[in-house]
A = this chain, B = another copy of it.
Amino acid sequence: MNFIQLEYFKKTAECGNITMAAKKMFVSQPAVSKQLKLLEEELECKLFARRGNRLALTLEGELFLKHAKEIVSKVKNIKDEINFSRKKVSGKLAIGCGAVSAKLLLPNIVDKMIKEYPDVEVSIFEAETNEMRELLESDVIDISFSAEDLRGGSEKKIEFKEIFSSELVLVCSEKCALARMRKVSFEEIKKYPLITYTPDTGVYRVLVKALLENARIILQSRYSETMLVYIEKNLGVGIIPEYIARLKSLNGIVVRKLDTDIKIHMGINHDVSKPLSPAARIFIELLSAEYGK
C-alpha cells in the first residue's frame, strides 16, 4: 500500500469511473486500474463492485474511503503545518557572544535565522566570557555563545553545551625565530614578548597558570585583530584559538602548534532554571549544523 494507491482510489471513488479519475490526475487509465487492482489484492477484498461499465463502492470500499480521505488530507497538510509552525516561532532572542564570534561566526547564522523564522527578533550582545554568567542570570541574554566558563561555581545554574573545540596555537611573524619550529613549547615562547587577551576573556583564563607567570606581556587586548597588528610587526608573539587563526587571512604571520594541546571549548551557555525557547533551540541547531563536529 502506498500514497499513490490511496489517491487513485479516492479520486476514482469521487469520479465514479477510472477514466475520468485518471484524466484529472494526469496519468493513463491503465495505471490507475492496475494500482486499484493491487490495492484490492493486498486488502483481500473488493473495493469497487464492477457492475458492467459502472463502478460502485462496496461496503468495504466505503469504509476504506473514509480512512483514505483522512490519510490523504493529513499527508497533504504536513508540509503546510511544518512551514506554518516556523511562522509561529516568534518572540525575542538575545544572544551573547565574544567579539570574534560577533564579527565572523554569527552573521551568517543570524542571516539564516531571520530568513527562515522572520517573526523572531534576534539581537546580538557582544561581551566577554566572564560577563556571560551575569548577563544570563539577569536575563539580558537568553543564551550565550562563548568559551566554556570554567569557574565551575557551586551554583550549577548555568549549563554549557559544547559546539566545537579548538586548539590554541602560536601566531608569530614569519621573521620571528619561532617560525622555524614545527612545535613550540611554553619555555621557548616565554623568551619573547607576549601578546595576549585581557584577563576577562576565556582564553586568558586557560593560559594564565601555565604560561603567563613570569612572562613579559607587551599587549593585552580584547580583540584578536588588534593583537595581530602587533604580531605582524614582530613586536611579540601571541596565542589564539586555531579556529580564529583559520578564519583570518594572515599576511606575514605564521601559525605553529604548541607541544601541549590546550583547547578552548566553544559552546552555548544557558540558564537551566529556565526552559530554552523554541527560537533558542532553533538557533543552537543552526549553529551546531554550521560549526559543530
Contacts and interface: CB of A to CB of B under 8 A. Distances in A.
A289 B40 CA distance: 14
A30 interface: no
A71 interface: yes
B82 A52 contact: no
Contact of A70 (B46, B59, B74): B74
A278 B59 contact: yes
Interface residues of A, number: 36
A93 B293 CA distance: 70
A285 B82 contact: no
Nearest to A6: B75
A85 B58 CA distance: 13
A81 B63 contact: yes
Copies of this chain per assembly:
2
A60 interface: yes
Interface string A38-69: 00000101100111100000111001100100
Contacts of A82: 43, 45, 60, 63-64
A26 B3 CA distance: 22
A288 B52 CA distance: 10
Nearest to A292: B51
Contact of A78 (B67, B278, B282): B67
B46 A282 contact: no
Contacts of A51: 288, 292
A59 B281 contact: yes
Contact of A46 (B50, B58, B285): B285
A138 interface: no
A2 interface: yes
A208 interface: no
A86 B59 CA distance: 9
A82 B67 CA distance: 10
B289 A46 contact: yes
Contacts of A50: 289
Given A1-B3, A2-B2, A2-B3, A64 B78 contact: yes
A209 interface: no
A51 B79 CA distance: 24
A63 B50 CA distance: 42
A122 to B, nearest CB: 16
A74 B77 CA distance: 16
Nearest to A49: B285
19 contacts: A2-B2, A43-B82, A45-B82, A46-B285, A49-B285, A51-B288, A52-B293, A58-B285, A59-B85, A59-B89, A59-B285, A63-B81, A63-B82, A64-B78, A64-B82, A67-B74, A67-B77, A67-B81, A70-B74
5 shortest A-B CB distances, which residue pairs? A49-B285, A67-B78, A60-B82, A58-B285, A63-B85
